Structures are given as C-alpha cells and as structure tokens.
C-alpha cells in the first residue's frame, strides 16, 4: 500500500489504483516516507471485485463503479478506466477532508509567500487560466481542479488536475482570500459580502451521501469559512500582468 497525506490524515491506497489514475493525478508530493511515524488518523482505500450496495462514483455513468464506507475503510469496485480510478481516489480525499472538519471544493489555488488564493467556480469560469497566470508570476500551484479548506485556514492541494501542464507543486498554504472570477479588460478586486462568499463556496462544494455530512452541517462549515476569510470578485484579463497583480496584492496583504 502507498501512504498519502492530506493535512492531518493519511490515506493508504493500493499501488495498482494509483497507476491506473496516473494520467489524471499526480500523487508524488502527497506520499509519506515509509519511516514517518504513523500517529495520525488513517483511511484505507481498497479495491474489491463487487459491492452489493454502495455510492455510485458518478450517477450519470453507473458502469464506472461504486464505493462503500465502513469506518476507516473505503471499499471500491470500479472499472479499469482512468476516470473510475480518479473518482475512487477523490472519494477518499473527500472523506479525509470531511473528517478534518473541512470542505472539498471544485476550485483552483495558488500560493504567494505562503498565502493561498482560492478561485472557486464551475468549469469554464477561468480557474485554469487563473492558475497559469499566477504561476507565470512565481506562484506555487496547489491544484487547478480540487482543493480542501480546513477550519484553521489551511488550503490543501490535491493530486487532481484538469490539464497535463498544471501539475501542483505545493501541498498546503494558509488561506489569503477566496475569489470569484470575471473576465474583463483590466484587473480589479471587489470585496464580497460574507453571504456572497457562502453562496460561492456552496455552489462548488463536493458532497456525497457516503461522507456523512448533512446539508445543514455543510452550510455551517461554509458559513464559518466565509465569516473568517475575505471573498472577492476578481476581474482580470488573460495576460501575464494579471498574475503580477495577484502577486503584488498578496505581498501587500501579507505585509500588513
């Protein structure tokens, strides 16, 4: 088994599953050294031939497979496809995030000087463009696809990516701000009210019945994050200067 780390938890994963998911996931920076003490809570993701009951990996494509959670064990029955392996691994990262009191988001995150900027939005919102521009300006990429937010403000990267050139380099950083993306002719940041931050996070939070998180509990977690960390509407161009704008803004706020 390969031991991956996410925040204060670890996940034991069968090597064959990681090999299958490799074209869409980059797990190297999450692997824990074999000699590292195993004192943290741990999940175990195991493949099984079949499951009589369980949660579908993707309700639209039931042939991909399903998974079942029993305590700290996740049983996964999935097809031999890259997508099925990725979704199985994502289910484990979701559960590890939830058990740390956090929220897993469809989002992109980069870090400047140890401060993470998290861009939240649906496909096509500009998350990958945001990631590329920030990286050109010297930012460290956590993930352009899926990130975890913990109550203490840590932003955790994940192995998941949307494009082959957007491989994450940072594992975690402290949250500096939440961003809603808008394509525009120049760069600007407009503060959002906490209620807008709640709506932004809820719209892209992953939640499945198997994670044991009710809608009320999810709302409470999201409201807590939105009340403690600022949210902004970031208007930007697809231009290298947009990345520089983010870097200067982050450096300015870190110095305060």
* Residue 199 falls in which region: left (phi positive, over 0), alpha (psi -120 to 50) or beta: alpha
Cβ burial, residue 154 (10 Å; 0-12/13-18/19+):
middle
Judged by DSSP in three states, 23 sits in coil
CA distance 21 to 41: 24
Q: Angle at Cα 99 formed by Cα 94 and Cα 104, nearest 5°?
A: 35
Please tell me the predicted confidence (pLDDT) of residue 5.
94
Question: How far is 127 from 129, CA to CA, in rounded Å?
Answer: 5
Q: Which residues contact 109 (CB under 8 A, 6 or more apart)?
A: 116, 117, 118, 119, 141, 142, 143, 147, 155, 157, 173
pLDDT tens figures, 219-254: 999 999 998 899 999 999 999 999 999 999 988 875
Mean residue pLDDT of the chain comes to 91
pLDDT, tens digit, for every residue of 65-124?
Answer: 999 999 999 999 999 999 999 999 999 999 999 999 999 999 999 999 889 999 998 888
Domains of the chain are 2-98 (no CATH), 103-254 (3.90.228.20)
pLDDT band at 53 (very low <50, low <70, confident <90, very high): confident
% the chain with pLDDT above 70: 96
Report d(CA 115, CA 104) in Å as an integer.
18
If you ran DSSP here, which 8-state letter would residue 100 be given?
T
Cα separation of 203 and 83, whole Å? 23
Structure tokens at 163: 């494009």
Per-residue pLDDT averaged across 195-222, rounded? 87
Q: What is the pLDDT of residue 123?
A: 81
In 3D space, the residue among 179, 171, 167, 187 whose CA is nearest the CA of residue 236 turns out to be: 187
Output the pTM of the full model: 0.93
In this predicted structure, the answer to whether residue 256 has a pLDDT above a threshold of 60 is: no
| Separation between Cα atoms, residue 186 and residue 235, nearest integer Å | 7
Question: How far, in Å, CA of 49 to CA of 59, rounded?
Answer: 19
Q: What pLDDT does 34 receive? A: 64
Position 35 confidence tier, pLDDT thresholds 50, 70, 90: low
Q: What are phi and psi of 241, to 5 degrees?
A: -65, -25
DSSP state letter for 139: P
What single string gives the DSSP state of each residue in 184-237?
-SS-EEEEE-HHHHHHHHHHTB---GGG---HHHHHHHHHHHHHHS-EEEEEE-
Task: Give me the pLDDT at residue 255, please.
Answer: 44
Residue ranges of alpha helices (H) inside 99-153 are 127-136
Q: Please check the confidence at residue 125 and state whether its pLDDT lies above 60.
A: yes
Supply the pLDDT for residue 92: 95
């Amino acid at each position: 088994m390969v031991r991956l780390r996410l925040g204060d938890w670890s996940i034991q994963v069968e090597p064959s599953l990681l090999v299958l998911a490799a074209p869409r996931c980059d797990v190297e920076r999450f692997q824990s050294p074999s000699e590292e003490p195993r004192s943290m809570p741990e999940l175990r993701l195991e493949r099984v031939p079949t499951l009589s009951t369980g949660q579908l990996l993707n309700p639209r494509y039931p042939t991909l497979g399903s998974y079942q959670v029993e305590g700290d064990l996740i049983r996964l029955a999935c097809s031999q496809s890259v997508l099925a392996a990725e979704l199985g691994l994502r289910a484990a990262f979701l559960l590890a995030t939830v058990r740390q009191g956090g929220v897993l988001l469809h989002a992109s995150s980069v870090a400047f000087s140890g401060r993470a900027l998290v861009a939240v939005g649906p496909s096509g919102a500009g998350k990958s463009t945001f990631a590329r521009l920030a990286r050109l300006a010297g930012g460290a990429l956590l993930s352009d696809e899926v990130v975890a937010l913990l109550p203490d403000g840590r932003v955790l990267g994940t192995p998941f990516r949307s494009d082959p050139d957007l491989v994450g380099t940072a594992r975690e950083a402290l949250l500096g701000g939440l961003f809603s993306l808008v394509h525009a002719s120049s760069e600007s940041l407009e503060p959002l009210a906490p209620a807008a931050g709640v709506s932004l996070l809820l719209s892209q939070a992953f939640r499945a019945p198997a994670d044991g998180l009710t809608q009320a509990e999810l709302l409470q977690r999201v409201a807590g994050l939105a009340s403690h960390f600022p949210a902004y509407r970031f208007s930007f161009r697809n231009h290298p200067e947009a990345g520089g704008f983010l870097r200067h803004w982050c450096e300015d706020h870190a110095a305060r």
